[in-house]
Amino acid sequence: MGKSRMIKYIIGIGLTITFAFLFPNLTTFIWLTIVAKIREAIVSGDGGQLILASAYTTILNTIQNALLFIACYLISLISIKRFKWADSIKMMMTVVMFIILGALRAWWIEIPWELLTAVITATVIMIMVYFTYNQYDSIHRMVLVSCLVFFAFQWLDIMPVFASGPFGITDIPTSILLASSYLDSDTVLNFVGLAFFVPLFISSWIMTSLFSSHDENIAIEKENHLKEIALESVKSSAIEHRIYQEINSIAHDLKTPLVTIRGLNSLLSMSHDPEKTEAYTQRIDSAVEKMSEMISGFLYESSKQEIDAIELINYMRAQIPVEDENLKISINYDEDLPLVNVNKIRVSRALLNIVENAIGAPYRHQLKIIEIEVAKRELSLAIIIKDNGTGIAKEDLPFIWDPGFSTRNTTGMGLFFVKKIVEDNNGQIYIESNSDGTSVTVLFPGIRKETS
């Protein structure tokens, strides 16, 4: 607890105790008014005056008891912050101090105190706080709940039904009960007391329950917020990892034209034949153009060009690893395939990712068979990649496109990137899977080929 907060609590304790001790003297004129109304009720036979006297009494007792209780609560709160005690001890400490200070105040001002009512009320408040919202340091809530519960229980002191018990033993409540008996108003006073006690007590319990629900919701929101932050961190790391993989891939792809350029440059320096020099120069230009195309395709998502479907698939096929002897990949092309306007580098990487997923999928057969079908679907180009693996679990299918989702301890960003790349190129992607394998269909809008 900070020093400034500690000072505020100490000031609050001093003010509440002082006001609680001085309250009876400060409100002497109100107590005299209550006595006058009791006398007037007896003389005139007006039970309404008796009800007003009862209301004034409960309000005054509520204020002075609530003040004293809040002071005790603040004292226990300071002690709790200083010493890490159990919650049950905190509750008991508040009630015990309330009894001690209440008895001390009664002795100091020489006015009897409704001990049982006050102690029961204080205990009920602490039980409600402990078993509902359990926010022991929420001062504004404690003040609100305390006032409601004290106001409810103070009505028990003026209900004739409890006159034979330990309630209503001080002067004013006793006078009200005697006047009620004299005026034959016991039933009315019992009804009025019950009409206040029941709704007030129920309201206070509902309020503490709402506080509890509010705190739980806030706690859940905080937990969800922390989970979102953690998830975003995981996504960010996964994206960085994926970008790193893409950079590695593009760097590897760039080696081929670089090696070509370097070799041709060496031949060019040794050649004195103009025809060969021109041929080498053209091949160098072609390699440089290929490098430029690859870099632009990687760096700029909007970099697109019209490309033949066979060229796109062949570019992707050149990057598929062929070291696995148990892997068989077949590619079938339809006739009259449309052109597509896509980012060649990114789309080929997306298709390669699908193929790599198929290669890495679990198989029950020794031979992994992957079939790539390139077909015309009305005005669209369809690329269907099928495998004979064990398939994707039905319960996992709705989540396969989610970033970070994986069933193979990977980053889970592969299919997320695939879907994003396909959609960035105005395409659509669908997946079907069962125990006999998985089929991924990618559709791109086609462009009619110009006929001469």
Q: Name the residue type at position 251.
A: A
- Does residue 83 register a pLDDT over 70? no
Question: Given this model, what pLDDT does residue 434 score?
Answer: 87
What are residue 265's DSSP bridge partners? none
What's the pTM? 0.53
- Which pLDDT band, with edges at 50, 70 and 90, does 412 fall under? very low
Q: Look at domain 230-299 and name its CATH class.
A: mainly alpha
Question: Given this model, what pLDDT does residue 395 score?
Answer: 84
- Does residue 206 register a pLDDT over 90? no
CA-closest candidate to residue 392, choices 423, 424, 415, 413: 415
- Does residue 321 register a pLDDT over 80? no
Q: Where are the domains of the chain?
A: 3-222, 230-299, 305-447
Q: E strands within 361-408? A: 368-377, 380-387
CA-closest candidate to residue 146, choices 64, 70, 60: 70
What percentage of the chain has pLDDT greater than the value 90? 9
- Lowest mean per-residue pLDDT among 91-105, 282-296, 429-443: 282-296
Pick one of 3.30.565.10, 1.10.8.60, 3.90.245.10, 3.80.10.10 as the CATH number of 305-447: 3.30.565.10
Between CA 20 and CA 16 the distance in angstroms is 6
Given a contact cutoff of 8 angstroms between Cβ atoms, the answer to whether 220 and 165 are in contact is no
Mean of pLDDT values over 406-427: 74
How far does Cα 136 stand from its chain's mean position?
24
- Which pLDDT band, with edges at 50, 70 and 90, does 256 fall under? low
pLDDT higher at 335 or 259: 335
H or E segment and range at residue 355: helix 344-360
Given a contact cutoff of 8 angstroms between Cβ atoms, the answer to whether 235 and 403 are in contact is yes
Question: Given this model, what pLDDT does residue 241 score?
Answer: 60
Question: Given this model, what pLDDT does residue 452 score?
Answer: 47
- Does residue 96 register a pLDDT over 60? yes
